[in-house]
């Protein structure tokens, strides 16, 4: 796997950053993209290179179709291929459904769901030619329950849509040696939530503790491996049994 190339959206922080560094340790060339976190992106690229792997940080607004497609072409032009697309970009905001703005509503789909479609279309041609590829999406642990979410409705619907998109892509791409799977985190300590807020959340997790970045990277690592070649269209809960 040391000659493989990964493209990670939202790779400057949190789970995306952890995945980038984990793959770099295993010899992958890793390109990450960020929208506004230029300093963080540069630090991740530098950390990747210090591990002896090729690292690249690209500023890109993946909600823009042409920009997303151009970024994928840039990585392929730089390194000749994209073997794994890992979609970690997933911003959200909490707002009552009746108070949500049209702009806020559209932004949740534009940033969570649509980029996976744009980027998947952009990278699959090369994967099909090589008869090997991996696409990983991040949903959320209770998305398959189709429950009411009045404080983050658009974000939730986008994450439900990701599950449908992942399964549809898996069905289409399986004959070409490409797998497409979703990971659905519950409460994972990625550094974004205040410690006191995370501690309060732990009371709701059956396992009794929040997930770690290593919990997330280990699942991705497995899905990218040849050992996972027959896992396709799956939705893996990463939640300590929360949300099921």
**Buried b or exposed e, range 90-121, using 16+ CB within 10 angstroms:** bebeebeeeebeeeebebbbbbbbbbbbbbbe
Tell me the C-alpha distance between 87 and 115, whole Å. 8
Tell me the C-alpha distance between 111 and 116, whole Å. 9
Is 118 known to be catalytic?
A: no
Instruction: Pinpoint the alpha helices (H) of 80-194.
Output: 102-112, 114-130, 153-173
* The two structure tokens encoding residue 134: 């991996």
- Sequence length of the chain is 244
Instruction: Pinpoint the alpha helices (H) of 131-205.
Output: 153-173, 195-202
User: Which residues make Cβ contacts (< 8 Å) with residue 67, sequence separation at least 6?
Assistant: 60, 61
In three state form, how does the secondary structure of 180-214 look? Answer: EEEEEECCECCCCCCHHHHHHHHCCCCCCCCECHH
Tell me the C-alpha distance between 40 and 141, whole Å. 27
In the set 118, 156, 209, 230, the catalytic residue is 156
Question: Which residues have a catalytic role annotated?
Answer: 156
């Amino acid at each position: 796997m040391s000659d493989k190339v990964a493209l990670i959206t939202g790779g400057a922080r949190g789970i995306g950053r952890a995945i980038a560094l984990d793959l770099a340790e295993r010899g992958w060339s890793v390109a990450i993209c960020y929208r506004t976190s230029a300093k963080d992106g540069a630090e991740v690229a530098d950390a990747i290179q210090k591990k002896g792997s090729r690292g690249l940080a690209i500023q890109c607004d993946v909600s823009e179709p042409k920009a997303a497609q151009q970024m994928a072409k840039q990585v392929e032009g730089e390194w000749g291929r994209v073997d794994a697309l890992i979609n970690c970009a997933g911003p959200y905001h909490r707002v009552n459904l009746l108070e949500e703005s049209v702009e806020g509503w559209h932004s949740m789909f534009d940033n969570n769901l649509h980029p996976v479609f744009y980027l998947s279309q952009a990278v699959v041609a090369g994967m099909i030619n090589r008869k090997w590829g991996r696409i990983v999406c991040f949903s959320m642990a209770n998305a398959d329950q189709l429950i009411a979410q009045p404080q983050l409705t658009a974000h939730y619907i986008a994450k439900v849509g990701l599950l449908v998109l992942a399964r549809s892509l898996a069905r289409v791409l399986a004959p070409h040696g490409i797998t497409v799977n979703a990971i659905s985190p519950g409460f994972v300590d990625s550094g974004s939530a205040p410690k006191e807020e995370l501690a309060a959340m732990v009371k709701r997790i059956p396992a009794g503790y929040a997930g770690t970045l290593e919990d997330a990277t280990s699942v991705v690592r497995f899905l990218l491996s040849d050992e996972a070649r027959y896992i396709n269209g799956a939705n893996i809960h990463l939640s300590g049994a929360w949300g099921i």
